[in-house]
Amino acid sequence: MGIPDFQTLMLPVLRVAAEGEVRISDVVERLADEFALTPEERSQLLTSERQTTFANRIHWAKSYLGKAGLVELTRRAHFCITDRGRKVLTSPPERIDIKFLGQFPEFQTFREVTEDDSVAAPAVEVASTLTPDEIMRSAHQQLDAALADDLLQRIHSGTPAFFESLVVRLLVAMGYGGSVTDVDKALVGGPAIAASTA
């Protein structure tokens, strides 16, 4: 069968999330078992060699479900189903894909990366209407938008101590003086907080 594409994984990811808060790495392992992936398929890396192909596709499936409001981040590397997600599962479709997610306003907004409708179209349509350079630019814009949204979700789901550490570390990284060691000492919660945000 091979490694499923990320759209095929959307419904299984949503079903696992319906059981309660889940850790993304546990979802990767569980669905690898459900899809009976071989050891080679489980260990197949992306060209960047930083993540497995299957884990990457699970992350994208979760991310797209989040853009449609079907799942939400609860804390670092954890997520759960939303009320909207539960409603979808009361009468589940055979498959959740980009077309299905298009019914939700939040997902439509996410897909509107630029004012050009062709850029926000599904990948199959984009590939047939844009030049290779335009496809690359479109993909880059979508990745930037997804990354920005993920970062905001993580910040919103973090604790006040996490936010404090984030702001101070950002200021240090921007060259406003100090060091990571100084940050650890200055934070209200001390090094333990800083370590938890690293």
For the chain, the domains span 1-105, 112-158, 160-197
Would strands 22-23 and 78-81 be described as parallel, antiparallel, or unpaired?
antiparallel
**pLDDT tens sequence across 33-54:** 999 999 999 999 987 778 899 9
Q: What size, in residues, is the chain? A: 198
At 166, the pLDDT band (50, 70, 90 cuts) reads confident
Instruction: Supply the CATH classification number for the domain 1-105.
Output: 1.10.10.10
Digit-coded pLDDT (tens) for 64-103? 999 999 999 999 899 999 999 999 999 999 999 999 999 9
Does residue 1 carry a pLDDT above 80? Answer: no
Query: Confidence class of residue 118 from pLDDT cuts 50, 70 and 90?
Result: very low
- Chain mean pLDDT for the chain: 82
Query: Is 135's pLDDT higher than 80?
Result: no
Rounded average pLDDT over 123-130: 44
What element of type H or E holds 81? Answer: strand 78-81
The answer to whether residues 8 and 54 touch, using CB atoms and an 8 Å cutoff, is no
Does 130 have pLDDT greater than 60? no
Confidence of residue 168 (pLDDT cuts 50, 70, 90): confident
Going 92 to 98 to 101 to 103, the CA torsion angle's sign is negative
Name the range with the highest mean pLDDT among 92-106, 118-132, 135-149, 160-174.
92-106
Contacting residues for 178 by C-beta, under 8 A, at least 6 apart: 171, 172, 186
pLDDT of residue 65: 97
